[in-house]
Amino acid sequence: MKRFLALTLAVLMLFSLVACNQTEEPAETTAAPADTTLEQTTPATEPPVTDCAHTYTETVTEKAKALKDGSKTLTCSACGDTKTEAIPATKTLKVLAIGNSFSQDATEYLWDIAKDGGVEKIIIGNLYIGGCALDKHYSNIKANSGAYKYYKNTNGRWTETANVSVLKGLQDEEWDIVTVQQASGSSGVATSYAPLAKILEFLAENEPNADVYWHLTWAYQQNSTHSSFPTYGKDQMKMYDAILKAYDSKVKVQESIVGTIPSGTAVQNLRSSYIGDTITRDGYHMSYDYGRYTVALTWFAYLTGGDVDKVDWLPKNYATVLQDHLPAMREAVKGALAKPFEVTKVTAAKPASFPTATESMTDGEIFTSLGLNIADYEALDWLLEVQAYYNSKNQIGIYNAQTSSASNVPNFIASKLLTKAELPVGSVIIVDSGYQYRPEGWVSETSKTSPRPGNVTTAAVQVTEAWWGNYTIRAFNLSAVATKVMTDEDVVHLRIYVPKK
């Protein structure tokens, strides 16, 4: 390599000698970052004597990212002298997703994570249609159809605009990055990628300065009931492999795609950790805690070149759930960046209190996995009222058909109000897949809560001192993740066990 470089330089000098009168070897003008020996053996002397005034033309060799310097090569058109200069990191992330609920999962926490990671100007957009696939995106583009809900975040808060077209979304900002993805059900079906080339042509024409990235989405949870899961034999790894295969044959070949965000691999990596295959909220959408956080961290790291170890922002509603698990999530992301198209097992140690429940376990097995014996516990009769809920942003009070005209009242089941004596530390809360509960909390009977605790889909949670925090009263709203009217039969999907006295 070194010998070849020296030869190249010699030839270069030969051609430039007449024009530039160079008499010394232009050691420092080489673009050879790996070749440090050359510089060490040549003492730092005067710059080479040259009569050339140098007229440089620039070639970008690596574009700068928000948090990572790029580089450019300057070449003198007169003497051929070359040098390499850094392009400073832009500190700016302006990304528009053309997607669906999976891009929503990916971007929900991205603004805050990017901010915490050191990006100064952040604009995130998501052109959303639930379940939208490439063929539908393309037919919408052709028809200039205002079929999208356009989510946008410029300051840490999301706004929502209805009836936006792809063109209008593109024109809304000077985007640096536009992302494209396939709908999850078709993500491993190569033939469904046919419209991609046309979409890319449209983007090149209408947002020529933006870099287009592919969003590699994730496979379903192994117990998912998604109607497209049988396409993959209801097998998670088969689906992941199919996604990679479709990517290889249909996406990698597209020259205008400059990079691929390996979300699907980060998810698969995290599933290999002690957290396990419990990071969706309904078998396919990311859970609000581990799932969404890990995917957003992947977008952050890949798109900005930033360091995931420098991010410790957590969404307020899930901070207590997530705080002990940053090492595992970071490891999953780093593994995906290093090896975007294969699973890297996450080895982060399991925090002592972490439950390892999976959906196929019985409650007894869940207890065993927690190092507990279900015989030491008794089920708590928690039910207060079917088709009712609380809202701890307000003072304690039940919302039901008698007290509220809210149309969503039938979608919930409300528990009794519970004190710490009734639900002591050590109690275990188990919720079935497809269901979630919001563990409302009040510091006192007359207080309001801000922020309100988020919905929880984690299969088993053991009550700790941190879980209680400052609250003196807690209550649960049980609901289905995919909104539905709740009936008496749904009561069984939440089970609360308290230690026997």
> Contact residues for Zn ion (CB under 5 A)?
52, 54, 76, 78-79, 81
- For residue 15, the minimal CB distance to Zn ion (Å) is 12
Q: In Å, what is the CA distance from 276 to each residue of 48, 328, 374, 410? A: 61, 11, 22, 33
Measured from the CB atom, is 81 or 490 closer to Zn ion? Answer: 81
225 Cβ partners below 8 Å, 6+ apart? 283, 434
| CA angle 358–360–365, rounded 5-degree value | 70
Cα–Cα distances in Å, from 9 out to 79, 267, 332, 489?
12, 47, 44, 80
Is 54 or 198 the residue whose CB approaches Zn ion more closely? Answer: 54
Smallest gap, in angstroms, from Cβ of residue 49 to Zn ion? Answer: 12
Query: What is the smallest separation between the CB atom of 60 and Zn ion, expressed in angstroms?
Result: 20
Instruction: Report d(CA 486, CA 476) in Å as an integer.
Output: 14
In angstroms, give the least distance from the CB of 80 to Zn ion.
7
Min. distance of Cβ 76 from Zn ion in angstroms?
3
Bridge-based pairing state of the strands 92-99 and 177-180: parallel
SS3 of residue 145 by DSSP = coil
Contact between 218 and 247 under an 8 Å Cβ cutoff? The reply is no
3-state secondary structure 178-222: EEECCCHHHCCCHHHHCCHHHHHHHHHHHCCCCEEEEECCCCCCC
Which of helix, strand or coil describes residue 419?
strand
Q: Which is nearer to Zn ion, 79 or 170 (CB)?
A: 79
**CB of residue 102 to Zn ion, shortest distance in Å:** 52
Nearer to Zn ion by Cβ, of 77 and 408: the residue is 77
In whole angstroms, the minimum distance from the beta carbon of 17 to Zn ion comes to 12
| Residue 58 vs 309, nearer CB to Zn ion | 58
Q: CB-wise, 80 or 185, nearer to Zn ion?
A: 80
Shortest Å distance, C-beta 22 to Zn ion: 9
Q: Which residue's CB is nearer to Zn ion, number 79 or number 463?
A: 79
User: Which among 186, 187, 47, 68 is positioned nearest to 118, based on CA atoms?
Assistant: 68
Q: How far apart are CA 147 and CA 164, in angstroms?
A: 6
Q: Cβ closer to Zn ion: 30 or 427?
A: 30
Phi-psi region of 131 (alpha: psi -120 to 50; beta: other; left: phi over 0): left
| CA-CA-CA-CA dihedral for 467, 468, 469, 473, to nearest 10 | 140
Q: Which of 249, 172, 264, 258 lies closest to 219 in space, CA to CA?
A: 264
Closer residue to Zn ion, CB minimum distance, 56 or 468: 56
> Who's near 145: CB < 8 A, 6+ residues apart?
139, 165
Number of Cβ within a 10 Å radius of residue 381: 9
Report in angstroms how near the CB of residue 311 gets to Zn ion at its nearest. 45
